[in-house]
Amino acid sequence: MPGKPLLLVDIDGVISVWGFALDERPPGVWTLVDGIGHYLSTTAAEHLRALSAHYELVWCSGWEEKANDELPRAVGLGPLPYLSFDRVPTPGNTHWKLGAIDHHAGDRPLAWIDDAFTPACHAWARERRAPTLLVPTLPAQGLTAVEAAVLTDWARGGPLAA
């Protein structure tokens, strides 16, 4: 039995949301991280908990280990493995997360949810040997039912069987 695919989870713009109109604010909680206020979407956290039935979740965020200090307490998500970007630097001409992702994921199938994909991310995804899905979010909404359905369908459709 092959293992679950990885789900790389960005935080800012996926769980920590901003720029919403006050009447369109998703359900959530405020928390302070290093003195900076973050509004964490409890909707995003619920979807991620459900997605953990299909995926092995990994923090893929500049928050690094701070994710495990804050998110389990604030929204009941984690602790999870996290990528560390200083330990595995990325060459300067590509996206800053890719070196650490390659190091962690190797040739495993993976989905990645993030609000800030660049053309370099899409080029990297096309060239990976394993099934790879990039799912963008809007920072004002974060992960919603729409993105969660895309991720669930992809996992159920059997990226490992492709």
* Interface pick for Mg ion out of 4, 5, 6, 10 (rule CB under 5 A): 10
* Cis amide prior to 79 (ω within 30 degrees): yes
Which range of residues in 8-16, 30-38, 65-73, 147-155 is near Mg ion by CB under 5 A?
Answer: 8-16
* Under 8 Å between Cβ of 40 and 16: yes
| Least distance (Å) between residue 101 CB and Mg ion | 14
* Under 8 Å between Cβ of 130 and 142: no
Q: Where are the alpha helices (DSSP H) in the chain?
A: 42-51, 66-75, 98-105, 119-127, 145-156
Q: Residue 97 corresponds to which tokens in the numbers above?
A: 């997360």
Compute the distance between CA of residue 139 and CA of residue 152 in angstroms, rounded to an integer: 21
| Least distance (Å) between residue 161 CB and Mg ion | 31
DSSP state of 91: P
* Interface pick for Mg ion out of 5, 13, 28, 109 (rule CB under 5 A): 13
| Least distance (Å) between residue 103 CB and Mg ion | 20
* Interface pick for Mg ion out of 38, 45, 112, 115 (rule CB under 5 A): 115
| Least distance (Å) between residue 71 CB and Mg ion | 14
Counting residues that bind Mg ion (by CB under 5 A) gives 5
Which range of residues in 2-10, 46-54, 103-111, 123-131 is near Mg ion by CB under 5 A?
Answer: 2-10
Compute the distance between CA of residue 59 and CA of residue 70 in angstroms, rounded to an integer: 12
* Under 8 Å between Cβ of 2 and 161: no
Which range of residues in 31-39, 91-99, 111-119, 145-153 is near Mg ion by CB under 5 A?
Answer: 111-119
Using rule CB under 5 A, residue 147 touches Mg ion: no
Which residues of the shown chain bind Mg ion in the complex (CB under 5 A)? Answer: 10, 12-13, 115-116
